[in-house]
A and B are shown apart, each in its own frame.
Chain A
Amino acid sequence: MKYTNREVQTPLCCISTTSSLINKTGSWRFASPVFVHRASPCNEQCPADEDIAGYMYLAAQGRFEDAWRLIMKENPFPAVMGRVCYHSCETRCNRAEHDDAVSINMVERFIGDYGLAHGIEIELTRPEIDKRVAIVGAGPAGLTAAYHLRLMGYGVTVFDSNKLPGGLMRYGIPPYRLPKEILDGEIGRLSNMGIDFNMGVKIGEGLAWEKINSEFDAVFVAIGAYQDADLEIKGMDKGGVVNALEFLREVNLGKYLGTGKKVTVIGGGNSAIDCARVSRRLGADVTLVYRRSLPEMPAHSEEVKMALEEGVEFLFLAGPEEIYGQEDVSGIRLVKMSLGTEDNSGRRRPEPTGETFDLNCQTVILAIGESLKIKDLPSSLICDGNLVRADDFGRTNKAGFFAGGDIIDSPRTVTHAIGSGRRAAAAIDGFLKGMERDKDGLNQTSELADYNSLNLFYFDHRSRTKAHIVPADKRINSFKEVTSSPSEEEAVYEAGRCFNCGSCTECGNCYIFCPDFSIKKNPDGYGYIVDLDYCKGCGICVQECPRGAMKMEFME
């Protein structure tokens, strides 16, 4: 096409000849968008530091092995966790304000089962380190620490006085909540990693702490809390009075304690509920006696609900006064309580009214809490009250000695124990390498992806998947698992409900809505990058990011 008049050499019309790319519009900008990884509230809440938002994203795409490996970065027991964790993460789920919290627990359970069903193993990739760590106590805290230290390349030996590893996961949690084959599967994976198990050895009796100290470079103490709380009432020596942990242990060993027809459980925690539900399965009529009322109960609400469905009678505002009977228990005298002023825990203190009444029963199970057996500890460890003094990473007063699980000041759940084991493993690694180790290696970000950081337009309303629960009248006939696993479709659907708060899922909104061609696929991998040569800093990308994975940074 001819656009110029040759004679005068002036264009007939102006034609652009250069690209506007020479015009670096980035110089207009006074604020820059940046991609950030914010902590989702669930991640922040998780006592085991799991990257929930991350594995939900993978599970939603059906990438279950990747999701499993992501959980295993923190927690070696996904299938156990998917059953027994009290999922406090779900109470902080941002989706709860939109429709209903995501059933995180259900998805974790599916992923955990997937790992077991497909026999996925953990490969050791780090070089062996010529240092050895002793783990005393094969409960969730000890096994988690052992797992992480083994991954780092340390030689690990686990000691426990029981015949089999698992601690309270094996000897405390009833099989209708955690089948033994699931536990065996996940612990078996740990033995395959080359962790030595030295079972049936009680440190302090069969083997001295000094010997452990001299033979190993570091020691992690997680022996649990097995000292029964003292209840100074008459009749504690009668036949048929039993302690909760002892009772659950016998049941878990298959040696069913013959309970009487009528059982009274004293206490309001999760162990009390476990004992009550187990007794129902043994055919007893069960009354659970708690000195406060329902709202103050420390037991998890879902457990309480299940117990009620299974026919456990709850008797609130009553405390034990005397256990009576000839040789064996024939009843318990209870005193009525009323609630007074708030105590340290923020709950109203029960006060005896003096009015008593009797309850017939043949068995009394005491589930009023356990504390640490101080004499089982190395004598050099300083205790505060009934707990070993330790910092957030389990470091005790004695160099080379670390503590975790139920013996330190932390809520007594499997999940918290796993978290303490993981943090202690990081601290032990730091100690053995002569480094201070605090935040590195753990999922800790300063910023939180709260509800306001999300753009909810991009999420439709989808109802929460209900768990498959065996009806109460069927489930009290056996110790079979009460809740069954979700199907693959359900797990994918439920994971797809997750907002993945604070994480980029490559949804592309930033790219789609950029008027200035300044959001590009990251050429080096995941996600997007901002082309600051041309970005004018309008901030549309940040505003339209559904997940709060971007923010504006204003220039100084």
Chain B
Amino acid sequence: MYSLNQRFDNMEIPEDEYMTAGHVACAGCGASLSMRLALKGLGKPTALVVPACCWGIIPGAWPQTAMEVPFFNTAFMTTGAVISGLKAAYRRRGMEDVCVVGWAGDGGTYDIGIQALSGAAERNEDVIYVCYDNEAYMNTGVQRSGGTPLGAWTSTTPVKAPKSESKKDMDEIMIAHRIPYLATATAAYPHDLIAKFKKARSMKGMRYIHILSVCPPGWKTPENMSIEIMRLAVLSNIFPLYEVENSEIFRQTVIPDEVEPVNNYLRSQGRFKHLTQEDIQVYQREVTTRFERLKERFDRIAA
């Protein structure tokens, strides 16, 4: 169907849609596009559980909805518990084939929802948990979260005192739970994202997918640059695209032809505008170190 771009030869994007227009995400929203593409990979029957986050309002205010799959709004800290319960209820009713997906932001995953998520992972519940990570509490006005990167501006880490802590390494926490499948994805690489959701759907047990999702108002970026910025995150190894099976088999799914310096990514966003050249060097070192650590594990599998 859509495969004429030289980069994406022989790959196809399914044409079916599982939600509609009229949703109220901001222009250029990475989260709404991520959901659209994820559902193309998941297909039906799928049921979504969403805690407080942007996606609590994106489908529209009651009584409207943009969703064409069941979509359950729940409380901030409960996603892990609700998906466990919902899957059990479906199983009880003989609807084992329904794929139950928790879809939470970084606040609802890194901070407020981590207890319920950790419990579900430890029990290896047969669900998919997706963290769409826009790196702050965007829905309530850009407050810092555990997912906010080092040096970023948010409304609670102003320019005079930007975030002094590094982003929490949530992926490593999930890998430590020894779950069957973990993947990182971004809408800038739609074929990769869809392939990972397809693969996750075909598997059993706890599956965790971490999506980097640009927020134009929160990151202070032009709306049209959303894809470009997410692509830069991948090309500069800030957000490497990889997947992990059973916490053992690591595989990098998109390998940049040429690794970009973090400078281009940081300079594309207003939230990093105040960073000095020294700050950027610190940032570069951190990104390089973290990627090298990950790369050792890719290499070990390759060898």
Contacts and interface: CB of A to CB of B under 8 A. Distances in A.
A534 B22 contact: yes
Contacts of A19: 20, 22, 64-66
B4 A508 contact: yes
Contact of B62 (A14, A507, A518, A539): A14
Nearest to B28: A538
A515 B24 contact: no
A112 interface: no
Contacts of A537: 27, 223
Interface stretch (B163-171, B226-234, B261-269, B295-303): B226-234
A382 interface: no
Contact of B6 (A15, A496, A515, A540): A496
Contacts of B32: 515-516
Interface in B1-47: 1-8, 13, 17, 19-30, 32-33, 36-37
A326 interface: no
B33 A513 contact: yes
Interface in A1-52: 14-25, 28-29
B24 A23 contact: yes
Contacts of B223: 537-540
B190 interface: yes
A231 B17 CA distance: 77
A21 B20 contact: yes
B60 interface: yes
B289 interface: no
B161 interface: no
A19 B6 CA distance: 37
A516 B21 CA distance: 6
Interface string B221-265: 011111110010000000000000000000000000000000000
Interface size class of B (residues with CB under 8 A): 35 or more
A540 B28 contact: yes
B56 to A, nearest CB: 12
A554 interface: no
B63 interface: yes
Nearest to A33: B224
A534 B224 CA distance: 16
Contact of A543 (B24, B64, B224): B224
A394 B223 CA distance: 49
Contact of A21 (B13, B22, B228): B22
Contacts of B64: 16, 18-20, 22-23
Contact of B226 (A508, A533, A538): A538
B77 interface: no
B71 to A, nearest CB: 8
Given A23-B60, A538-B224, A544-B227, A517 B29 contact: no
Interface string B137-181: 000000000000000000000000000000000000000000000
A515 B224 contact: no
A119 B25 CA distance: 57
A507 B191 CA distance: 14
Contacts of A15: 63
Interface string A297-317: 000000000000000000000
Contacts of A18: 63-65
A508 B59 contact: no
A298 B162 CA distance: 63
Contacts of A531: 21
A271 to B, nearest CB: 41
B22 to A, nearest CB: 4
B190 A513 contact: yes
B4 A507 contact: yes
A511 B21 contact: no
Nearest to B194: A512
Interface stretch (A65-73, A335-343, A396-404, A455-463): A455-463
Interface string B171-204: 0000000000000000100100000000000000
B5 A507 contact: yes
17 contacts: A14-B63, A23-B23, A23-B64, A25-B21, A28-B27, A459-B6, A508-B4, A508-B13, A513-B187, A513-B190, A513-B227, A516-B25, A536-B27, A538-B28, A538-B226, A539-B224, A540-B223
Given A19-B20, A518-B21, A538-B226, 7 more contacts: A20-B60, A28-B27, A458-B8, A512-B13, A513-B33, A517-B36, A538-B223
The 3 A-B residue pairs with the shortest CB-CB distance in the complex, in nearest-first order: A508-B2, A539-B224, A20-B22
